[in-house]
Amino acid sequence: MVYDSLHKSIIHRHWEEAAAYLATQSGKEMTKDVFKEDLPLHMACDRRAPESIILALLEANRQAASFRGKNGFFPLHIAAQRNLPPSTIVSLIRAYPEALDKVNRENNQPRDYPQRNQISKEALLRPTACWIEDVEKEDYLGRVARRRTQLRQKMVKLQCAITISKERRERTQKQFNDLEKRLHTEVEIAKKDVEKDKKLDEIEKTFRARMESINERVGVLEKELKTPYTEEEVMMKSLMKRSYMQAVQRQYEKLMKRSDEVRQDLAVIRQDLVVMKEKRKAIRHRREPSPTCRLQDISEKENRDGNKTSDDDDFGVGIREVLHTRSITEGIEIL
């Protein structure tokens, strides 16, 4: 037997205080405590508590409607005996319809107590099976409604999940596209790197081949440098160089002498050409001569033409010698 603050508030009819207790979790737990064989619901019905208090007690502990209290009374027996309002009696019947057929220690059912309210009387006289069917329907409809609510909530959650999934898919697709572009770029870069590596390998091979050739040449030169020359070989080389230079010097002096002679010959030829031109001009201005003179002039002309041809030949030869001398001189300068 537990006598706590909720029981005390109901016994002393402090309904506001009882409502405050029922609003707390500890107060709801107190509805399950028995005091003198009765639960707080039995005590509230016996003291004609307001309908709000009885409904709060039923909501906190619905099993209290099926609890047999002192003298075998169910809460419905007490409500029918005290002529509580019809809404309270109907709420108790719905909470436990089987209580209509239960008898207390006085061998009375709730239907046996006279009612001043016609609605309460009809509710008590209605068959128990009808109430059970109504309750089952209400429970079924309630379950359906709850299930429908749960399904709607689940649909809302699924819709939210689908929306989130679409957003994630779009982000993933975008990331995939970005990664594909990056991969394509990396592949292109890798191809270029491979080509560069090939070129570098070719350059390295060429460089190595050249370095090997250079090293071989350097080795040969080092061997030649390291090979000691005898005094005779050194003297022979110096003599060969000196003789070669002397021969070149003599050839050069000879060519220079020949070029001077050619220049002098050219000067003489030029003077002769000038004289011949003056003579031709003088002959043109003379009077026409006699046949005998003409024959002499012709013979003289032929002689002069012969001399001119020989002079021209000498002039061509001199020019060729000059050109030959110039080429030889340039060759010596290059050496």
Alpha helices in 126-230 (DSSP H): 128-226
Neighbour tally for 306: CB within 10 Å? 10
Q: Please tell me which residue, 45 or 327, carries the higher pLDDT value.
A: 45
DSSP secondary structure letter of residue 288: P
Q: Are 60 and 22 in contact (CB under 8 A)?
A: yes
Query: Looking at residues 311-326, what average pLDDT do you find?
Result: 49
Q: Are 69 and 104 in contact (CB under 8 A)?
A: no
Residue 34: left if φ>0, alpha if ψ -120 to 50, beta else—which one? Answer: beta
Architecture of the domain made up of 5-126: Alpha Horseshoe (1.25)
Residue 140 has pLDDT above 70, yes or no: no
Q: Please tell me which residue, 1 or 210, carries the higher pLDDT value.
A: 210
Q: Which two tokens stand for residue 89?
A: 């009696």
Please choose, from the candidates 307, 316, 317, the residue with its C-alpha nearest in 3D space to the C-alpha of residue 280.
Answer: 307
Residue 53 has pLDDT above 70, yes or no: yes
Q: Please report the pLDDT score of residue 197 as a whole number.
A: 86
Q: Please report the pLDDT score of residue 283 as a whole number.
A: 80
pLDDT in tens, 244-260: 888 888 888 888 888 88
Residue 75 has pLDDT above 70, yes or no: yes
Q: Where are the domains of the chain?
A: 5-126, 128-227, 250-334
Q: Please report the pLDDT score of residue 29 as a whole number.
A: 84
Q: Which two tokens stand for residue 118?
A: 């016609």
- DSSP state letters, 243-284: HHHHHHHHHHHHHHHHHHHHHHHHHHHHHHHHHHHHHHHHHH
Residue 329 has pLDDT above 50, yes or no: no
Q: Are 138 and 94 in contact (CB under 8 A)?
A: yes
